[in-house]
């Protein structure tokens, strides 16, 4: 059973987040960002503002990310007041050489990527999204451009977990990488033989929880906020299984 109330406490207003792909096992992250606007701890839910509107979500349907992830997003999805990223910075991203290499923003309609974001959030697959885009934009956009942008958008969603791990966020503590509560440790934590707390960054301590019938569960516990991680839920820096001495 998921403790949504406990999960909600790990978020705060202003956190930058991505959502998991509907119906795709939780291993694909949204190729757009959201911002937490309210935390309802009594209900165990969050209000999250996405480019296309606000949603009330369970905390296990989103994951916190470093806002540097915006460097890889379509610029059109960043030029909005909901993000803490200022409008001037968004315009710089739009005009940058890097953005032009990543996204063909000037070759598609202004609302093109926003439309893709809405389709993605509804669980529409890539083929259906392309079909919708072709019917809506083919009269003003070449087919190769439409196909290329849809493909890149969905590929970014599929690869975003690894992209986030490898390039976007500065990792100083174990971080959540999958909806099944799997965490990945940093190289430094791996060498030290213990993870840092995902919540506060403090070094965690080994402990054992005695279960019924004499079974024992090996845990790492944060001495500051009592955050608990199962040793079996921690992966190495490259996603490999880890045996803790």
In this structure, the strands spanning 234-235 and 183-184 are parallel
pTM given for the model: 0.60
Dump pLDDT digits (tens) for 58-90: 888 888 877 767 777 887 777 544 454 455 555
Has residue 239 got a pLDDT over 80?
Answer: no
Distances (CA, A) of 2 to 44, 46, 234, 242: 10, 15, 19, 25
Has residue 113 got a pLDDT over 90?
Answer: yes
For 106-117, what is the mean pLDDT?
92
Of the chain, the end-to-end C-alpha distance in Å amounts to: 30
């Amino acid at each position: 059973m998921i403790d949504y109330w406990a999960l909600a406490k790990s978020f705060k207003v202003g956190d930058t987040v991505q959502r998991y792909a509907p119906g795709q096992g939780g291993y694909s992250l949204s190729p757009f960002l959201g911002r937490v606007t309210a935390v309802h701890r009594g209900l165990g839910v969050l209000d999250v503002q996405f480019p296309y509107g606000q949603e009330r979500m369970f905390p296990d349907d989103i994951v916190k990310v470093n806002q540097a992830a915006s460097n890889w997003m379509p610029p059109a999805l960043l030029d909005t007041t909901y993000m803490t990223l200022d409008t001037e910075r968004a315009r710089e991203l739009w005009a940058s050489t890097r953005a032009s290499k990543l996204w063909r923003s000037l070759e598609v309609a202004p609302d093109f990527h926003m439309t893709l974001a809405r389709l993605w959030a509804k669980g529409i697959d890539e083929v259906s999204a392309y079909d919708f885009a072709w019917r809506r934009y083919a009269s003003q956009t070449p087919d190769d451009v439409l196909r290329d942008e849809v493909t890149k958008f969905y590929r970014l969603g599929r690869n975003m977990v690894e992209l986030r791990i490898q390039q976007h966020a500065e990792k100083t503590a174990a971080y959540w990488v999958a909806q099944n509560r799997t965490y990945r440790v940093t190289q430094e934590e791996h060498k030290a033989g213990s993870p840092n707390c995902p919540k506060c960054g403090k070094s965690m301590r080994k402990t054992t929880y005695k279960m019924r019938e004499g079974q024992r569960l090996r845990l790492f516990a944060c001495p500051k906020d009592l955050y608990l991680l199962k040793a079996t839920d921690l992966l190495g820096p490259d996603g490999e299984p880890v045996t803790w001495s």
